[in-house]
A and B are shown apart, each in its own frame.
Chain A
Amino acid sequence: MTGEIEKSHCFKVQNKFIVKSGCKKRMWRSLKQILTAERALPWPNDAVLYYSINAPPTFKPTKKYSDISGLPAPYVDRHSKLYYSNAEEFATVRSLPMDITAGYLQLRGANTIVG
């Protein structure tokens, strides 16, 4: 900023955060970074912060639903790891291509090796 104040509208004092294209962009902290920085501070005990009101983890056993139909699923296909509810669905599960089974697993958040 060299003397002259940039602004795009008459009602503005100046452009505060908008940078011209081509100039170096300011890196914005993500919420996660903001929270980590916030956590590092020595807060008094009674302060309620963003991270301290997260919902508790679930204590109830999670129910299993068939990935393709949503029906209650007592079985799991060992090959693709998909849940299914009956023989008919099993045939469908077995005929699904890899990308679809991977998509279903990802949707259920079960695509990672851990957990």
Chain B
Amino acid sequence: MEDVLVLKDLKTVQDIVHEYGPTLKFGHIPLVIDNGSYQCRVGWSVHDEPSLIFKNLIARPRKDRCKKDAEPPVTPPIQIGNDIINIEAVRFQLKSQFDKNVVTHFEVQEQVCDYIFSHLGIDSDGCIPHPIVMTEAFVTPNYSRQLMSELLFEAYGIPAVSYGVDSLFSFYRNDIGDTALIVNCGYHTIHIIPVIKGKVIEEHARRINLGGSEIVCYMHKLLQLKYPVHVNAITMSRIEEILHEHSSIALDYQEEIRKWANPDYYENNVIRVQLPFVQSTSSSGLTAEQQKERKKEMARRLLEINARKREERLAEDEEQLNQLLALQELIEDGDTDEFDEAIKGFDIKNYGDLQRQIGNLNMRIEKNKQRIAAAANAEETIETRPTGRFQPPTDPEAFQVWLNDTRAKYREVLVRREARRARRAAMVKRRTAAAAERMRAISRLAAAGDDFGYRDSDWDVYKSISREADSDSEADGERLVELEEALREHEPPQPSHHRHQLHLAIEPYRAPELMFQPSMMGNLEAGLTETMEYIFKHFSDEEQLLLANNVFITGGCSQFPGLKERLERELLEMRPFQSSHKVVMAKNPSLDAWYGARDFAGSNEFENFCMSKEEYYEMGGEYLKEHHASNKYYKSPAPIVDNTLAPAGDANVVKEEIVVDC
């Protein structure tokens, strides 16, 4: 049963600066950038694998404000991508160039580009002599593309760029024919794009505004609410790890949760996740018994020190007394000269003073003697004092019985207190049984004759009608505290690692289910299934059949186990009886977009699909050369110049007069 998962808490490895060899440098080799909102993958078109894969994030640490003005504040370096070793340490300083799936913050994008080019080792002067293939979101707004082109051409002096859509690159990479319904599950969005005979049907494509990041956030919040004690230990990166490795999509969600309602199923299938924890310091190798001994020992030592001090003081006083008595003898012998000589050593003026001092000393000695005697007695009483009412028997079996007994008593008191509280709460409200009972008691009290108060129990009626806490509950409260203490002291302690475990039951299914039921997080959009159904309706029966027979899933978020089976089941329900359907998974859902873009960059026609610098200056930044995996280019129309508002006395403007009555 003890099958506990330990989190790996993987650290990122910093990227190396890659070698920029002469073949790359002078070969006019295209550079392929899959600029995703989760990860950015960068590599040369002649390589098999991307050279850089990093999270598309930067961390801009705040300036040190604690430093004095003497030295100028040192700006800590900006961390980008895999430079961020511990992402949790800079969680609140993270920035991304993305708003949803579209790049909007180009200062960050420029920093990321600097990171990319410098880590590829590019050292040419004043330009990047490589054409670039860049992915962008499906139907990216022109405004965003324009700024991206501006950045690439004007900041880096690239010779040419070609934009494409990640999911379409992934689709062509997998080579599954020219007609398909692409389901691309990304970090912020899910796109469903119908492609018929190589033509993307944009007007019937749909986007669900929900993705991996929402799933992570949902799970994160869910577990933090479930375990408020571990709020700080439940970090985003740990949730991400749990989702990546232990989460899946239920074939039938209703069926799945019904299973979890059964306690036996829960007990057998719950996933226990161990959070890191620090052994509490109180149990530093010492048992409770040893600690008690140590305390006792310390108390005894303190007593001893005090006793020794008292004895010393007593001896001092006695010696002084003897000296003073000797002086007194001198004067009694009539030796005044010698007396005057002797009192110079002491702080004494005359005989009267001497007598008073002797009296004081005697009193002090007496007091000290009394104290010493009292202390000795007290020591004895400490030894004999019982250490508590709930002393458990030492025999293990009897101890167990005692423990259960104490627990039962504890619960009983607790239940009694709860019942009393509930009754009091009910009494405050009208029209409850408790309130009615109270009124009856009061009226009976008013009607009571002269014999009220003969029996002690008569007075209990006041307790029952009082709205305040009564003395009974005080006694119970004390007893509760006593029992609690006894239990805390003697209950065998639960191993502390158990207290740092998360129990995951439905949660690993519940979070990814968001893709199918966005309503679970208050999103009113249709889920994946419903949107697919909606899209199917726009096509003829033949086309529907073609699409249903080639449903292609790609995107990082599609890697949840069970997604394929779930979609097959949903298609079976959605499609007409006995019609066929097929779901195909991308071979590598998260990297196929890069591979596809690389194949595109290596193809013979690539040159024709590039927008050159000249074209950029001629057509403007928002322009793009269309190809099989690109967005369609719609030239932004000129904004409407609104002439209707300019002339004040226009006949078309309807005037309305408002009369305000005072």
Contacts and interface: CB of A to CB of B under 8 A. Distances in A.
A28 B107 CA distance: 9
A113 interface: no
B156 A11 contact: yes
Contact of B143 (A34, A43, A46): A34
A98 interface: no
A54 B155 contact: no
A3 interface: no
Interface string A20-54: 01000110111110110110111110111110111
* Residue with the highest number of chain B CB atoms closer than 10 Å, among A21, A31, A62: A31
Interface string A50-76: 101111111110110100111110000
B142 A47 contact: no
Given A34-B104, A50-B140, A107 B222 contact: yes
Interface in A67-105: 68-72, 85, 100, 103-104
Given A56-B534, A58-B518, A104-B225, A13 B218 contact: no
Contacts of A63: 254, 517, 519
A58 B527 contact: yes
Nearest to A11: B122
A42 B435 CA distance: 70
Contacts of A25: 107
A113 to B, nearest CB: 13
B637 A43 contact: yes
A11 B117 contact: yes
Interface string B510-534: 1000000111111111110011001
Nearest to B60: A21
Contact of A9 (B118, B258, B261, B517): B118
B62 to A, nearest CB: 11
A35 B102 CA distance: 11
A12 B155 contact: yes
Is the contact region of chain A dominated by helix, strand, or loop, or is it mixed? loop
Contact of A55 (B107, B208, B228): B208
Contact of B521 (A16, A30, A31, A109): A109
Given A11-B126, A38-B142, A72-B254, A55 B206 contact: yes
A46 B634 CA distance: 9
A68 B224 CA distance: 12
B257 interface: yes
A103 B217 CA distance: 13
A29 B109 CA distance: 14
B144 A18 contact: no
A70 B258 CA distance: 10
Contact of B257 (A16, A17, A71): A71
A20 to B, nearest CB: 10
B155 A16 contact: yes
A30 B144 CA distance: 10
B126 A55 contact: no
A62 B519 CA distance: 6
Contacts of A9: 114, 117-118
Contacts of A62: 517, 519
Contacts of B106: 16-17, 28
Contact of B221 (A32, A54, A71, A107): A107
A19 B530 contact: no
Contacts of B519: 58, 62-63
B640 A42 contact: yes
A11 B205 contact: no
Nearest to B144: A34
Given A28-B105, A42-B640, A18 B221 contact: no
Nearest to A39: B141
A8 interface: yes
Contact of B531 (A40, A52, A55): A55
Given A11-B156, A40-B639, A58-B526, A17 B107 contact: yes
A54 B134 CA distance: 24
A41 B534 CA distance: 28
B126 A12 contact: yes
Given A12-B114, A59-B526, A18 B107 contact: yes
Contact of A8 (B114, B126, B206, B525): B114
A102 to B, nearest CB: 10
Interface in B96-121: 99-100, 102, 104-107, 109-111, 114, 117-118
30 contacts: A9-B118, A10-B124, A10-B125, A11-B122, A11-B125, A11-B126, A13-B126, A16-B151, A17-B107, A18-B111, A19-B107, A31-B100, A41-B639, A44-B634, A44-B637, A48-B203, A49-B139, A50-B140, A53-B207, A54-B206, A56-B525, A57-B526, A58-B530, A65-B520, A68-B226, A70-B257, A70-B505, A71-B506, A72-B257, A107-B221
In the complex, the 9 A-B pairs of residues with the closest C-beta atoms, listed nearest first: A109-B522, A16-B155, A62-B519, A31-B99, A70-B506, A48-B202, A58-B526, A47-B634, A55-B208
Interface of A: 8-19, 21, 25-26, 28-32, 34-35, 37-38, 40-44, 46-50, 52-60, 62-63, 65, 68-72, 85, 100, 103-104, 106-110
Interface of B: 75, 99-100, 102, 104-107, 109-111, 114, 117-118, 122-128, 138-144, 150-151, 154-157, 202-203, 205-209, 218, 221-222, 224-226, 228, 254, 257-258, 260-261, 505-507, 510, 517-527, 530-531, 534, 632, 634, 636-640
Given A28-B106, A31-B100, A103-B221, 15 more contacts: A10-B123, A12-B114, A12-B155, A16-B150, A25-B107, A31-B104, A41-B640, A44-B634, A48-B634, A55-B208, A56-B530, A57-B524, A58-B526, A62-B519, A68-B226
